[in-house]
Amino acid sequence: MTKGAPVKKAAAVKKAAVKKAAVKKTAVKKTAAVRKAAVAPKKASAAVEGAPPAKSVAKPPKNESRTALVRRARRIDRELAEVYPYAHPELDFENPFQLVVATVLSAQTTDLRVNQTTPGLFAKYPTPEDLAAADPEEVEEILRPTGFFRAKTKSVMGLSKALVEQFGGEVPGRLEDLVKLPGVGRKTAFVVLGNAFGRPGITVDTHFQRLVRRWQWTDQTDPDKIEAAVGALFPKGDWTMLSHHVIFHGRRICHARKPACGACPIAPLCPAYGEGETDPDKAKKLLKYEKGGFPGQRLKPPQSYLDAGGKPAPPLGAG
């Protein structure tokens, strides 16, 4: 609703009291919308409350032309952008060094767990020089909660040493340099490029791989080939946000085991609709985007997320 609409309506009935009430109603509605955004993506809840999308669901796109595929893929991304206007990297970081370390630590654990661990790590070892010269046992102790802590200690200390020895203690902003760092593959490199350097990158993580296969954007299974195939469907400038939208959707609605199809806002565009629960009420119970009552895994989320009504996730075990 536009800001002026209720005022116009009030003018039509020419009563100041009605005018006042209409303005008040808008304010209430707006507050409710913000509150709603804090607990559920707008479109997703509409899908739950409205008629099940089964009737309008897309048939698997047999012999879909290249143009039709590009159109469908971009439409899915546009819809997801509306559902998750606050999509962002879910690792807390303040500089490229923190992001590259946090991304390496995020293997086989949740971003929330990493966000709870990195403040202690960076307080003690704020620079690559500090971490490179650390006592490995002390680092292991700090990283223990993230799992695979010995291997992760080796990786983050190794990459810190490489940063100091080869790049003057700075994280390089080029793909070909990043992938030379120990423990840094293309996925981590693109996370860093896209989010710390503002250079477009596609993050092919487990969610991304699963969802693009479900949507039949590509039948490739190798992450590098998926990255190339999906990258070719979108303008380069969309890559970073596309990755966030897809990963947000995979974490919250289109889960690996039980996708919540009956509560999915892009069901009409999805050839895999029905792979998960289609009953709207049952599907609603599968939604996982709420964490302690609010979506998100960051302890220090970006302002855009807070502006959209999101709140930082509480510490693990709280609430």
Instruction: Check the annotation: does 270 bind a ligand.
Output: yes
Query: Whose CA is closest to 102, among 36, 28, 48, 152?
Result: 152
Q: CB nearer to ligand SF4: give 139 or 269.
A: 269
Which of 19, 152, 187, 284 is the catalytic position? 187
Q: Which of 49, 275, 279, 307 binds ligand SF4 (CB under 6 A)?
A: 275
Rounded to a whole number of angstroms, the minimum distance from the CB of residue 214 to ligand SF4 is: 5
- What's the min distance (Å) between Cβ of 251 and ligand SF4? 12
Instruction: Check: CB of residue 252 under 8 Å from CB of residue 207.
Output: no
Answer for which of 74, 161, 180, 214 binds ligand SF4 (CB under 6 A) is 214
Per-residue burial over 194-229, b if 16 or more Cβ lie within 10 Å, else e, is: bbbbebbbbbbbebbbbbbebbbbbebeebeebbeb
Q: Helices (DSSP H) in 232-315: which residue ranges? A: 239-252, 280-286, 303-307
Of 37, 22, 90, 72, the residue nearest 300 (C-alpha): 90
- Kindly identify the residues of this chain, within the stretch 223-262, that bind ligand SF4 according to CB under 6 A: 253-254, 259-261
Kindly state the smallest distance separating residue 210's Cβ from ligand SF4, in Å: 9
**Contact window for ligand SF4 (CB under 6 A) among 153-161, 229-237, 264-272, 288-296:** 264-272
What is the distance of C-alpha 182 from the center of its chain?
A: 25
Is 287 a residue that touches ligand SF4 (CB under 6 A)? Answer: no
Spatial CA neighbour of 110 closest among 236, 237, 207: 207
Minimum CB distance to ligand SF4, residue 253 (Å): 5
What lies within 8 Å, CB to CB, of 185 at 6+ separation is 179
Neighbours of 232 (CB within 10 A): 11
| Residues in binding contact with ligand SF4, number by CB under 6 A | 14
Residues that bind ligand SF4 (CB under 6 A): 214, 253-254, 259-261, 264, 266-267, 270, 272-273, 275-276
Active site residues per annotation: 187, 205
Q: Which residues are annotated as a binding site for [4Fe-4S] cluster?
A: 254, 261, 264, 270
